[in-house]
Structures are given as structure tokens and as C-alpha cells.
Amino acid sequence: MDMAAATLRKRPLSVHTAVSNGNGNGFGVGHGAQEQGEPVSPSARLLEDFYIVVVIGIATPVNLPAARAGIEAQLIRYHPRFRSIQVKDASGNMRWVPTTVDLDYHIIYPNLDDVAVARDPDRAVEDYVATLSTRPMDKSRPLWEFHMLDFPTSEAAATTAFRVHHSLGDGMSLLTLLMACTRSAADPARLPAMPSLPTRTGAIWERPRPQRPRGPWRSRFFATILFLRDPRTLFERANQEPGQKKRLVHRALSLDDVNFVKNAMNCTVNDVLVGVTYAALSRYYFRKTGDADTSKEIRVRSILLVNLRPTTSLQACVNLIESGKESDVKWGNELGFIILPFHIGLHDDDPLQYVRKAKKIVDRKKSSLEVVFTHLASEVILKIFGLKAAGAIFHRMISHTTISFSNMIGPVEQVEFCGHPVVFIAPSGYGPPEALTVNFQSYVNTMMVNLAVDEAQFPDSHELLDDFVESLRLIRGSA
């Protein structure tokens, strides 16, 4: 199976495109297809070197026929971008053009060292996923892949690494897509149960806001682009060369513990997770540096991604797809961001102080229009200065911060993906110039913390994961 798949994977790809003219006739590239394809959005064009990787543990060995059938019947059908490529039109604009999808190029069985797998299967999975950050994708075919690691680890019977280019969608839209392709493990006839979400029927900027000073966040945004950068710490990326390998690691935390702290402190899950991250980075910093001045506090900043879409239920998305209106589902990149201060300091006498600080800062940020402003500013900069200059500005701004941070909500019950019971979901990615990306993902009764780290800078990334576990334990104990 491995050798056959590897042979298929190396075959030259023949791309066939077809765009309907409304009468059922198709036109290949070079016959007006470029003008008919939907334009690639400004947000997607700015994410040229950004990729999302979702590591999924499953409870059974891989059933390849079932996986192929499910991916073809649901994933490719549901999302037009999964059957499209980016093509430049006569005016030089990039457009999405439909193409024929050959699953032999998108479902990959890698050849791994049998000795390494037998010695440490967990490490073999981790090492393989890390190599994906150094392998570019072939842009002559749709930009997604499933890598099947069909051997047991300490966490699952098999592992799948789903890699997708960020231009196909942001983390929230892709997670929604994956969940739309799953079914409840308890009742495969229905969609998985999702947690109730705060209802937002309109755009994010339409929600009521308290009357308070808006603060100088606009000036700080432009100052970050121009000159304002974080102080140098061990979290700042030491090597800014492109193509540095990123290692993706994860650890399960107790969602019950997170909810306990949330209820005890009358805050949100996100407040708790930001506070736990403050605490974990602080523990790691003072241990690694040996700094004896535990009274000091260092402020670095994170790019916190925020979903701009109205709240839509998973069932509503699937209903649109089933009725042939998949184009009405907002799959793409609908994100703004907030520049969120992160405090590095020790509060061993009162670990809840980490959460209090997080809540205070996040509340202040949520009451502003910073997330909308940054989204619109990115599009205006791209329109005025063009892709190359806008990309450089975007990269410069991110490189002046220290961390990327996000938090996503998953199903509250076990799901099946293409007939395979899912044990865990661990999304992360690579591309941002920071050395550290932190992502949280809930699933059933766990909260997975996922780190993407510069491999050379964080050779002890599992120690940092230990700090997240210990930080939540201390905060929960204090609550």
C-alpha cells in the first residue's frame, strides 16, 4: 500500500478545468474561465505562506475505501475551494477555477522508517507532521492533503494529518466544514451536538458596546507596523529565515477544570485560557532564564484571531449545502485580529491573578472596534499598495509581536469522520513569522492545547506543554 501510494503521489498531474457558462457548457483555462471564476479574496491573498494542519486521532485503523468515499462525497462536494485552483486572469487577478480532483494525489500514505515507528510511534507521528512545514504544496492542484499514519500510538489506533492552505478558509470555517462531514458516534444518522454559542445575527460591529474611552489602539496598530516591537525574550523568533521547520505538539487539558474556573470567576472560557497561557509562559520563562527577580513583569503581545461571521448553527450550514446553496455558506477567511498584551510574571501566591488580568484586557479589547478596523485596514492596504507591499507590511506587523493565539469550540460528543471514530482533534499551523503559536480546541470533555514552535528555538516543547498542565492545576486549585 505504501509503495503504490508513493508511486501515485509522484505521477505528473494533468489539470483539467471547467467553468459552466450557465448552459451546461464548460470552458478550459484559456477560453474565458479566468474571467468567470470567483476572485481570490484580499484576505486569502495575504495568507500566501500560511497553512493549517489538523492532526486527528482515530479509534480504528484506517479504512481507505470508506475514507475515500467520505472525502469525495462530503468534503469535496461541500466546499467549492476543495475542487478549485487559483488561476491568474488576463488582468493579472487571481481567481478560483474548478478543476478535476484526483484523490490519489490528495490522500497520502507516507513511507516511514519501520524501526523508528516501532521504537516510538508518538515521536514518529510528531516528526512526520513537522516535516510538512518544509514541504511546499503543488499549486497546480487543489491545496489540501490527508496524510494517513496508519499505526497505533499512545493516543489512537491511527492518525490523520489534514493539511490545507489558509486561502481555502480560516480555522473556524474549516472546523465547521470538518464537523459538517462528521456524524455523531452514538447516532450516525445525525450531526454531532455542538455547544450553544452566543447568538450574533448581524456583523460583529453591530453589537451593542458600552460607553467608554476607545483608547489609542489605532495608533498602536500603525506603530506596530512601523516601529513598535516587543522586547526581546526567549519567545521571540531568533532566526527569521523563511522555511524554518515548525514542530506541532499538543496536550489534553480537562475541560471540566476550565469550566470550573470560568464559573468560579464569572468570566469566559477564553479568559481562562488566556490566563492559563500567561501562567504557562511565565513558568517557562523564569525556569529557562534562571532570572531571580521574580517581581519583574514583562509585557509581550499576541495576535488574537477573531471570527467576524454571524453565528450560524452547524445544521443550518448543512441544510444550505443539501439544498444546493453551498455558495451561501461563508467558508472563506472572515477574520479580524486584536493585538493582545500577554504578561510574563510570577503570581505563585495568587494564581488567579493571571485570569483576572486576562479578563480585564480581553474585556477592554472586546468593547472596541479594533477587530473590525484591523480587518478593513488589511484590505485597504492590499488595495492601495498591492499584494507584494501589503504582504511585506503584514509580515512586518506580525514579526513585531511575539505569539499567535486562537481558541475554537468543538463538538460536545464523540464524532465519526468517514466512518472512523475520532479520539482527538488537534489543529495548528505554520507560516506566521513568530516562533510560537498557541491554539486551544475543545472536544467532548477535553481542551487540547496545541503549540506550533520553531523547532530549533524550542527543542523542549513538551516541557512547555507540562507548564500548561501545571498552570491549569494551580489556577483550578486556587479557584
> CA 254, 255, 256, 262 torsion: positive or negative?
positive
Element holding 64 (H helix, E strand) = helix 64-70
Read off the amino acid at residue 184.
Answer: S
Tell me how far apart the terminal alpha carbons of the chain are, to the nearest angstrom: 52
Contacts of 59 (CB under 8 A, 6+ apart): 156, 157, 420, 421, 422, 423
Q: Helix 352-366 crosses helix 461-478 at what angle (to 10 degrees)? A: 90
In angstroms, what is the C-alpha Rg of the chain?
22
Q: SS3 of 328, please?
A: helix
Catalytic residues: 166
CB 298 within 8 A of CB 231: yes
CA–CA separation, 473 and 479 (whole Å): 10
Element holding 465 (H helix, E strand) = helix 461-478
CB 278 within 8 A of CB 304: no
Strand order from edge to edge, sheet including 182-184: 107-108, 144-149, 158-165, 51-58, 420-430, 415-417, 182-184
Burial 255-291 (b: 16+ CB within 10 A, else e): bebbeebbeebebbbbbbbbbbbbbbbbbbbbeeeee
Partners of residue 404 on adjacent β-strands: 303, 437
> CA 87, 92, 94, 95 torsion: positive or negative?
negative
CA–CA separation, 191 and 189 (whole Å): 7
CA–CA separation, 97 and 45 (whole Å): 15
Q: SS3 of 156, please?
A: coil
Whole-Å CA distances, 397 to 337, 389, 409, 417, 438: 12, 12, 27, 38, 18
Read off the amino acid at residue 402.
Answer: T
Contacts of 125 (CB under 8 A, 6+ apart): 55, 149, 153, 159, 161
CA–CA separation, 248 and 126 (whole Å): 7
Read off the amino acid at residue 368.
Answer: S
DSSP 8-state assignment for residue 182: E
